[in-house]
Structure 1
Amino acid sequence: MNDAPARPGDLPRPAATPLFRERLLPGPGAWVAALGLGVLVAIVLLPLVPLAAPGAGVLVAAGTVLLLVVTAPVVEVRAGELRAGPARVPVDVLGPVTPICSAEEMRAALGPDLDARAYVCLRSWARTGLRAELRDPADPTPYWLVSTRRPDDLAAALGEAGASR
């Protein structure tokens, strides 16, 4: 056991509070479909293994729900960087930020207006998003296109993170 007094530098620092955080979980339709898949598996297995069919249905439904939660990306602004799924970019290399507040605008941004070099973090159940230009000449990615249900809040958080730097 070490009885030496802790120095201020030795104490763990709390993680910076995020200015914006959203997990892009599916809407109600996906949750109902996950439960429906479990019911369907139970019905199919009922004539074959009547005692195990309900358990198998519950396992399939729970596994599908777990898969939906685990694969849902997080969009976050924290400690001077934007995180969208597995990718991160410092806020200070972001240029103009454009909220995409309608499904029609998002459809255009993902269709005819999309640059193939752009980083896209898309979930079809989040029908709005945000486009953030990149000002890094060393990065071939011209912009990020990120799904979010709260594009104005994400743009404000990026503005606040950029102003604090």
Structure 2
Amino acid sequence: MHLYEERLTVPRTWWLLAALTGVALGLVLLPFGPLVAAAALAGGVTTVSLLGHAYGSARIVVTPGALVLGGRRIPLGALGATEILDEREAFAWRTWKANPYAMLLIRGYVRTALRIELRNDYEGAPYVYVSTRQPMNLAVVLAFARG
């Protein structure tokens, strides 16, 4: 059972960039013939679309016993205080305030985030930084799940 689930999909404009990349490749290779240009167009769109899909497939899931960030599972007992970060604070914690030992799930196109302290430096990390479009909802669900 999932108490909270969010997928950090890429913005819609990235799909336009995939199409434009394919068109650009097709135009560059047009002197080699229309078949090569068509193959470049299809290959470019497909490759960039697959990369965008893979990058945007990260999920945040809260279950009754754990917080799952992408492929990493953190027990709820290891989580401490949460801090909701607005755009300015999220940028600061992504850049100059960042700890190199922290667990990070960063997506630059998601402007807000949640910073969660870890008890006893769980796995050597002082905190978890999670890019999320709904930091308030995630903080409330985590508080509820921890009891």
Q: TM-score by structure 2 length? A: 0.90
Ranges of 4+ aligned residues in structure 1 off by more than 4 Å = none
**Cα deviation 1:6-52 (Å, max 9, x = unaligned):** xxxxxxxxxx2x11111211112322111110111111111112123
Deviates more, 1:143-152 or 1:46-55: 46-55
- Check whether the contact 2:121–2:127 (CA below 8 A) recurs between aligned residues: no
> For the residues of structure 1 that align with 2:29 and 2:124, how far apart are their CA atoms?
52
Q: Tell me what 2:75 maps to.
A: 90
Which structure carries more helix by proportion? 2
Q: Tell me, what secondary structure is at the counterpart of 1:114?
A: coil
Amino acid at match of 2:62: V
> For the residues of structure 2 that align with 1:82 and 1:56, how far apart are their CA atoms?
42
Amino acid at match of 1:88: R
The number of equivalent residue pairs is 146
> What's the RMSD between the two structures over aligned residues?
1.6
Gaps of 5+ in 1: 1-15
**CA 1:91–1:67 in structure 2 vs 1: closer, same or farther (change >3 Å)?**
same
Q: Tell me what 1:135 maps to.
A: 119
> For the residues of structure 2 that align with 1:118 and 1:137, how far apart are their CA atoms?
9
> For the residues of structure 2 that align with 1:127 and 1:93, how far apart are their CA atoms?
26
Amino acid at match of 1:112: W
Q: Which has the larger radius of gyration?
A: 1
Q: Tell me, what secondary structure is at the counterpart of 2:123?
A: coil
- 2:58 is equivalent to residue 111 of structure 1: no
Q: Tell me, what secondary structure is at the counterpart of 1:156?
A: helix
Q: Tell me what 1:33 maps to.
A: 17
**CA 1:142–1:156 in structure 2 vs 1: closer, same or farther (change >3 Å)?**
same
Amino acid at match of 2:83: T
